[in-house]
Amino acid sequence: MSKKTTSDRSGRGRNTGRRHPLATVALLAIGLMTTGGAYAAVTTAAAADETASPAVTQSTIDEGQVLFDANCASCHGLDAAGTENGPTLIGVGSAAVDFQVGTGRMPMARNQPQAEQKPAQFTDEQVTALAEYVASLAPGPAIPDEEYLQADGDATNGAELFRINCAMCHNVAGAGGALTQGKYAPTLRGVLPQHIYEAMQTGPQNMPVFNDLNLSPEDKADIITYLKYIEDNPAPGGFRLGDLGPVAEGLFMWIFGLGALVAVTVWLTAKSH
């Protein structure tokens, strides 16, 4: 899919005429057939999501609907239009569902300030089915392309963007932090690149939405690159102490540093019996 868009772009960019004269026609034919085929398969017009993966079939959507009715509808309503216990899911897109269900935040265990991350309740296939079902209701942000999830972007740019846009809640090293009313920004360690991207795109819980005009897909990829860099490379200074900053350092020095030395003073002044 991504390859197709890039070749499309470059083809239009430089019309060198090196291609076979019929190439454009063939491409058009293929394009029309794919679109038509997809249209036939996906009866609802709304499902024509610009980046919907070719695996989307009516049966996946149906499977997703069954799962939705059984697990989500009690709060979000049978038509996913929301109830007083849960918001509407019309237009949240597959990215939001993939993030919320894929990280185990949904279904929520209980009513609490924010949905907590927990072991995912569904298999990957089921998560996809749910995501496709919700995406089929109305267009919305889709699950991101693989090309942005490789963590091979510009770490410096990512780090700077992270400090400016994310660090005030998630801490400079992504260790997380407190928000108001019992809510919090979770740690970003061990979060899949796909989920990081989806969180930026959909703004789950208290997080603001960082749309593509705010942080372009490349910027998001850079941020993922930075987060994966500090996660995958050993900490230069030794044990990180949770990356929590001076509080952890002070506590460590009082308890272990001074504690050890007080033990030594007791030993030095101990009388032999």
Partner 1 sequence: MTTAPTSTPSTLPPTRTARLTGAAANYIDERTSISGIVKELGRKIFPDHWSFMLGEVALYSFVVILLSGTWLTFFFQPSMAEVHYEGSYVPLKGLEMSIAYASALDISFDIRGGLLMRQMHHWAALLFIAAIGLHMLRVFFTGAFRKPREINWFVGFVLFILAMAEGFTGYSLPDDLLSGNGLRIIDGMVKAIPIIGVWISYLLFGGEFPGTDVVARFYSLHILLLPAVLVAALGVHMLLLIINKHTQFAGPGKTNDNVVGVPIMPVFAAKAGGFFFIVFGVLTVIAAFFTINPIWNYGPYDPSPVSAGTQPDWYIGFADGALRLVPPHLETVIFGYVFSWNILLPLGVLPLFLGAVAFYPWLEAWITGDKREHHIADRPRNAPVRTAIGAAGVTFYAVLWAAASSDLIATHFGLGIEMVIHTLQALLFIGPVVAFMLTRRICLGLQRKDREIALHGFESGRIVRLPGGEYIEVHEQVDEYERWKLLAYDDYQPLMLRPNARGQITVGERIRSRLSGWFYEDRISPVNQRELEESSHH
Q: Which residues bind partner 1 (CB under 8 A)?
A: 113, 155-156, 158-160, 163-164, 167-173, 175-182, 184-185, 226, 229-230, 235-241, 243-247, 249-254, 256-258, 260-262, 264-266, 268-269, 271
Beta bridge partners of 184: 178
**30/261 with CB nearer partner 1:** 261
**42/185 with CB nearer partner 1:** 185
For 253, residues 6+ apart whose C-beta sits below 8 A from its C-beta are none
Question: What is the Cα 8 distance to its own chain's centre?
Answer: 27
Tell me the closest approach of the beta carbon of residue 222 to partner 1, in angstroms. 10
**78/255 with CB nearer partner 1:** 255
Tokens of 69: 């009715």
Tell me the closest approach of the beta carbon of residue 27 to partner 1, in angstroms. 40
Q: Is 203 helix (H, G, I), strand (E, B) or coil?
A: coil
Beta bridge partners of 83: 86
Tell me the closest approach of the beta carbon of residue 188 to partner 1, in angstroms. 11
Tell me the closest approach of the beta carbon of residue 156 to partner 1, in angstroms. 5
Helical (H) or strand (E) element with 178: strand 177-178
**19/163 with CB nearer partner 1:** 163
Cβ burial, residue 131 (10 Å; 0-12/13-18/19+): buried
Angstrom distance (rounded) from CA 107 to CA 34: 35
**15/181 with CB nearer partner 1:** 181
Among residues 175, 94, 179, 184, the alpha carbon closest in space to that of 139 is found at 94
Beta bridge partners of 235: none
Tell me the closest approach of the beta carbon of residue 42 to partner 1, in angstroms. 42
Tell me the closest approach of the beta carbon of residue 231 to partner 1, in angstroms. 12
> Sign (positive/negative) of CA torsion 165, 166, 168, 173?
negative
**53/157 with CB nearer partner 1:** 157
Question: Using the 8-state DSSP alphabet, how is residue 166 labeled?
Answer: T
